[in-house]
Amino acid sequence: MAVRIAVLGGAGLTCDAGLPLSTGLAEKLKQELIERTQAHETDVELREKAGVLLATLRFLEGAVRFQEGVLNRDPGRSINIEQIAVSALQLRDRLTNPLAAYISGWHQRVIELETLNSSILSDFIEFIFSQLEKWLKIEDLKSIAYIARLADLHSKDVRLDVFSLNYDLCLEHALTTFGPHTFTNGFMEDGWRPSLFDPTTDVIRLFKLHGSLDWIEDELYGLCSLEFPRHRNAEDISDEHRPLLIFGTANKLSARQPFLSLAYHFSERILVTNVLVIIGYSFGDDYINEIVKQGLETNGKLRIVVVEPNASALLAAEATLGGNPRVTAIDATAKDALNEGRVLRTVQQLLKEAREENPF
């Protein structure tokens, strides 16, 4: 019977292909707004709107840095787009927070920005969504060829589950272009079908935990994928839908579908798999970290491989993983570790050790 192993991929999995990290996305957001405020070929109204969005970004970034200082963390370190997004989301929904009843007033700058545009925080969030496809575009398919090497881990005796924290379509394009390798992401041409994640399937299972640029939720057709695979009624679906993503670190554990099913599968798989390969993830999501921690504590056969250019240092800073003999560091980029076969050889060795420890 085939065993199933798991890969958890973060932004570092795709940065070798030229895609920005979350800090890079925050910088792209700033530059985009600056350019729009200075674009003399556009009308005054559009420039003014961009100016208010830019002012909102500067206020949010300043507040994030202030809080970092309050928490005795370096306020000068790079701010990522998720810190900005979660600040905007929580400020937009501040009156629904149970603590709102105990707050006599909000920062005057929030009031000033909403006076200029009453829906500025919603507009700010929508602007981020509207730009993600451009910022995460794959410029050259050859640049993502190394990502298809994840399929080297998938064989007759070993089945692969990939859990991605990224919104981009690098994995899908890599698996279909350089193979092709058959996979399921829970969607069919008629929409979301979580039954496709049957654990007995012999294809690669791809779980995009935080959503995907080609997923939308339509009033008529429900949860749809517009590219992998393309919904049979895609031509009838409005292009005004924003991508179906969980954006902002405080909002990623969602009870909504498809996110509920995806989170369940990740939690369930960690409890039974022999090997978890973590590639390009810097342990910045608390709920992901907690699932990994629980898996390590509960699943005695679990072995973890962490692939990062600074994996050893990263693990040393993690109380749960650092010094644990069941955790292996590969100090390399995702591209080098996959192309050189270091990930494959490490996984094969760990699976061999698991078989020897459990001969029956």
The distance in angstroms from the start CA to the end CA of the chain is 13
Cβ atoms within 10 Å, residue 64 = 17
For residues 174 and 171, give the distance between their C-alpha atoms in angstroms, rounded to a whole number: 5
For residues 113 and 59, give the distance between their C-alpha atoms in angstroms, rounded to a whole number: 10
Question: Smallest Cα–Cα separation from 25: which of 247, 210, 250?
Answer: 247
Question: What does the DSSP assignment read for 175-221?
Answer: HHHSS---EE-SEETTEE-GGGG-TT-SSEEEEETTEETTEEEETTT
The reply to whether the predicted model has a pTM over 0.75 is yes
Residues of the chain with CATH 3.40.50.1220: 3-19+141-357
Q: Which residues of 300-326 are buried (b: 16+ CB within 10 A; e: fewer)?
A: eebbbbbbbbebeebbeebebbeeeee
pLDDT of residue 360: 42
Q: Which DSSP category does 231 fall into?
A: P
pLDDT by residue, tens only, the chain of 360 residues: 789 999 999 999 999 999 999 999 999 999 999 999 998 887 899 999 999 999 999 999 999 999 999 999 999 999 999 899 999 999 999 999 899 999 988 999 999 999 999 999 999 999 999 999 999 999 999 999 999 999 999 999 999 999 999 999 999 999 999 988 999 999 999 999 999 999 999 999 999 999 999 999 999 999 999 999 999 999 999 888 889 998 755 455 666 899 999 999 999 999 999 999 999 998 888 889 999 999 999 999 999 999 999 999 999 888 778 889 999 999 999 999 999 999 999 999 999 988 887 544
pLDDT of residue 248: 56
Q: Which amino acid is at 61?
A: E
pLDDT of residue 357: 76
Question: Smallest Cα–Cα separation from 136: which of 243, 4, 233?
Answer: 243
CATH number for the domain formed by residue range(s) 3-19+141-357: 3.40.50.1220
Q: Residue 157: which H helix or E strand, with range?
A: none
Question: How large is the angle between the packed helices 108-116 and 44-70, nearest 10 degrees?
Answer: 160
pLDDT of residue 145: 97
